[in-house]
Structure 1
Amino acid sequence: MFRLSSLIGCTVLFLISCGTSKKSFVMPSAENISAVKFLGEYDIPYNLLYKNTVVGGLSGIDYDKKNDCYYFICDDRSDNNPARFYKAKIFITPHGIDSAVFTDTRSLLQPDNTVYPNKKQDRLHVPDPEAIRYSPVLNQLIWSSEGERIVKEKDTILANPAVTSIGLDGSFKHSFELPANLTMHATENGPRQNGVLEGMSFANNYKTLFVNVEEPLYEDGPRADITENNAFIRILKFDVASRKNTAQYAYKLEPVAYPANPANAFKINGIPDILNIGTDKFLVIERSFSTGRAACTIRVFITDLHNATDIKNIASLKGNSSFVPATKKLLLNMDDLGIYIDNVEGVTFGPVLPNGHKTLVFVADNNFEKAEKAQLLLFEITE
C-alpha cells in the first residue's frame, strides 16, 4: 500500500536534490573600495586582423572569471564587417598587462538569425553596439544598441535603442522591454542622437540589470557644458527574469572638463559605462572630450543609489526639484596619471592579484582611427 508518509519523504528528497543541484553565482564586488593604483597599459595594434575581421571600436568589456576570458563588443555598425563581439585572453602580471590574445569572434544576430545590415543595405535596422555583459547564470551575453536619430528636412531615420540577450554563438534569445521615454522621436523628445544606452551592469547576483543613457533625455534638460547646468542622465533598472524596467534614477553629470577650440566646436561629457560594486553602489565613468584636445578626460565616481528617488514616473527632470539624485564621490581622474588617455568606454572587474587585491580593466575605443588608441588599462583596487 502507498503511504502518504512515503510521498512526503520522496517529495522532500526531490526538493533537496533539486536545491543542491542548482549552481550558485556570486558577483564580484568592491563595496569598500577606497583607492585604485594604475598598474599599466597595453595597446591593441591598429587594424589588427582576426578571423577576417578588423579589430577596433571596442566599446564594452566584461570578464568571465570561471573561464578566465574577456568579452569585448565592437561598435562597428556593419561597415567593416558584420556587427560582432570578440572573446580574448588578457595576460596580467602584478606589474601590468603582458599581452592580449583574441580567441574568437561571433556576429551579433537578429531574431531571424541573420547578421545585421549596414546603412547601404538597410539603414533602418543598422545597430550601434555599445555595451556587453556576461551572465554565468544564463550562460548568455546581453548587449545594448544606441539606435539612431537623424532628423533632416529630406531624410529622417529613427531607430529605437535596444537591450538584447544572445547566446555565446551570437544567436538571438530575447529583447528587453524598454520604457516609452527611450523611444526615438523626430521632435526634441526622448533620447538624443548617439547619447542613449552606453553603459550596463548586472547586480543582485545577476538578477538585476542596470543600463544608463549617456546624455540627458530632451525632457530632462540640457547636455553638459563647461559650466554647471544641472545635466541629469537616467540609470534604468531592469528585472532580468521579466526583462522589464522596474525603476529609474537620476545622476548629475560634471561639467565638460575643458573648453572646445574653437569655442563653438563639439564638446561632450557623458557616461560610457557603469559597474556594480555592491548593493546599490556603482563605479560610474564620466568621459569628457573637447575639440582641440586629443585626449579624453576620464573621471570615475563611486555612486550610491540607496537614497535616490525612483523617477520612473517623473516625465521631466528639467527645473524639477522633487527628486533626490544618486550620490557621487570622485575615485579617480585619469588626467592625474600623466599619460595619454583615449576614448575609454568600458570597465570590468579583472582577476585577483597574487596579493589578494582585486583589479579593474578599462578599454578605450579607437573608433577605427589610426590617430587613436585601443587601450587596455589595468588598476589595482584597495579596500
Structure 2
Amino acid sequence: MTKIIPAIIVSCFLLSCTAQKKASTKSMNGLKFIGEYLLPDKTDFKNTRVGGLSSIDYNPGEKLYYFISDDRSDFAPARYYTARIFLSAKGIDSLRFADVVFLRQMNGSVYPNKNGDSLHVPDPEGLRINHKTGELVWTNEGERIVKKGYAILQNPSINIMRKDGQLLDTFSLPPNMHVTATESGPRRNGTFEGLAFADGFETLYVSVEEPLYEDGPRAGVHDSTAWIRFIKYNVQTKKALAQYAYLLDPVVKEPIPKGSFEINGVPDILAVNDHQLLVTERSFSNGYLTCNVRVFLVDTSDGEDVSNVISLSASAPKKFLQKRLLLNMDKLGINIYNIEGATFGPQLPNGKQSLLFVADDNFSGKEKTQLLLFEVE
C-alpha cells in the first residue's frame, strides 16, 4: 500500500548523476519526501520467498530495479530480483517483480546453505550495475563463527557476475580485511555492504559496515569514537587504491534492557558524482522494532589514505571523510524499518529526479520490506 505523508524538505546541495551512465553536475535545493510503499507480507515470486532485500539499483535502459536478497540460501538459493516500480506525483503506485536470478559459483552451481556446505554459504548485501560492461558487482560479507574447538572463517568478497548470475571474477582483498579466528580484522556481519561506482565506472567505492577489531570498539550510545573504512578500487585492475577513515555517529537509542544489543553502521553508499557519496547510517537497539536512519553527504576528496594505518583508534587520522547531515528519517513521521539500500531512479512526472530507499525485512513477520520515495529538488 502507499501512504502519503506531508512533505519534509531537507535543505541541501546535491549533485546527481544517477540514472545516467556518466556523472553530471547539478545544483539541488533539497529532498522532498513523497511517500512509502510496503510490500505485502510473505510475498512469493517464482517459487521463492521475497525478502531480505538489502540493496536497490536502477537500470534506466531496462526501466528495471535490481534487488539482492541477503537470504543465505535458507529459503531458496542466493539470488537477486528485478522489478518494475510505478511512480506518480503522489508516490509509489505499485511494484511488479519481473524476474529472479540465482547467484552461481565459478563452477556454475548455486550457493549452498549451512546444511550443505557451511564454508561456502554466501551473505549477499550490496549490488550495483556496471553500465559500462553490463555486468553486476555484489558484496558477500563472509562469515566468522569462532567457538571452542570449532571455527568457520570465510573472507568477505567483492564479486563480478553476469546478469544470468554466473560468477566471473573477484576484486583483490586488502590484508586487513581478512577474517581471522583472533580478534583482528573484520567483525562478524560487519564487513562489505555498500557499493558505489564513480569516475565513469573506473572507480568503485566499498564501505565496511562496522569497525575492524584493530580500529576500536563498535558504536555505542553517547559514543562518537567508532571508525570504519571506505575502500577505493580501480575497476580495471580490481585492486585497492586507498582506504579512507569515516567516523560513525553514536547509536541513537539506549537498548532495552540496558547493555543488550545495539548497533550503528553503514549499510549503503551511493555515488552522487565523482567525489561525493550519499552515505546511509542505520542505528538499531534491542527493545525496538524500528530503526533510526540518517543520510549524509560525504566528500571523498577530503580524506587521506589510511591503508597502512593499523589502528584508527590508536592513530586517529587528521584528514578523515567529512560528512554533512542531509536527512534524519526520524522526522518523517512514519515507522522506519531496516533501511539497507538506496538508488537514484527515473524522473518523476514533474521532471524532478527521484531517490528511493529499500528496507530489509529480515524474513520477519514483524519487520517490513519498505520502499521510501523522495524527490530531489
Partner amino acid for 1:267? E
CA distance in 2, matches of 1:69, 1:334: 26
Per-residue Cα deviation, 1:192-213 (whole angstroms, up to 9, x for no partner): 0000001111111111110000
Match 2:73 to one of 70, 78, 95? 78
Partner amino acid for 1:112? N
CA distance in 2, matches of 1:329, 1:265: 30
Is 1:199 aligned to residue 164 of structure 2?
no
Partner of 1:144: 139
CA distance in 1, matches of 2:194, 2:26: 19
Partner amino acid for 2:195? M
Partner amino acid for 1:316? S
CA distance in 1, matches of 2:262, 2:202: 36
Deviation at 1:128, TM superposition (A): 0.2
Partner amino acid for 2:259? N
Partner of 2:103: 108
Is 1:161 aligned to residue 152 of structure 2?
no
Contact 1:232 1:250 in 2 (8 A): yes
Give the 3-state SS of the residue equivalent to 1:259 in structure 2.
coil
Deviation at 1:154, TM superposition (A): 2.9
Range moving further from structure 2, 63-72 or 312-321: 312-321
CA distance in 1, matches of 2:349, 2:202: 30
Partner amino acid for 2:239? K
Size of the aligned set, in residue pairs, is 358
CA distance in 1, matches of 2:63, 2:224: 43
Match 1:236 to one of 207, 231, 238? 231
CA distance in 2, matches of 1:31, 1:230: 34
Per-residue Cα deviation, 1:136-167 (whole angstroms, up to 9, x for no partner): 21111110000000111132110000110111
Per-residue Cα deviation, 1:165-223 (whole angstroms, up to 9, x for no partner): 11111011111111111100011100000000011111111111100000011111110
Match 2:333 to one of 328, 331, 338? 338
Match 1:258 to one of 241, 253, 277? 253
CA distance in 2, matches of 1:135, 1:143: 11
Contact 2:23 2:274 in 1 (8 A): no
CA distance in 1, matches of 2:195, 2:274: 16
Partner amino acid for 1:240? V
CA distance in 2, matches of 1:27, 1:216: 32
Calculate the aligned-residue CA RMSD, in Å: 1.2
Contact 1:311 1:323 in 2 (8 A): no
Range moving further from structure 2, 222-231 or 97-106: 222-231
Is 1:171 aligned to residue 152 of structure 2?
no
CA distance in 2, matches of 1:337, 1:322: 34
Per-residue Cα deviation, 1:23-70 (whole angstroms, up to 9, x for no partner): xx7335566444211111111112211111100000011000111101
Deviation at 1:342, TM superposition (A): 0.3
Partner of 1:214: 209
Contact 2:245 2:303 in 1 (8 A): yes
CA distance in 1, matches of 2:180, 2:342: 31
Contact 2:129 2:135 in 1 (8 A): yes
Contact 2:245 2:317 in 1 (8 A): no
CA distance in 1, matches of 2:332, 2:29: 17
CA distance in 2, matches of 1:284, 1:229: 17
Is 1:371 aligned to residue 366 of structure 2?
yes
Partner of 1:65: 60
TM (norm. structure 2) is 0.93
Relative to structure 1, the CA distance from residue 76 to residue 165 in structure 2 (aligned partners, 3 Å threshold; closer, same or farther) is same
Match 2:262 to one of 263, 267, 280? 267
Partner of 2:11: none
Greater percentage in helix:
1
CA distance in 1, matches of 2:80, 2:38: 18
Partner of 1:323: 318
Bigger Rg, which one: 1
Is 1:279 aligned to residue 274 of structure 2?
yes
Partner amino acid for 2:184? N
TM (norm. structure 1) is 0.91
Contact 1:211 1:237 in 2 (8 A): yes
Contact 1:208 1:238 in 2 (8 A): yes
Residue identity over aligned pairs, in percent, reads 50
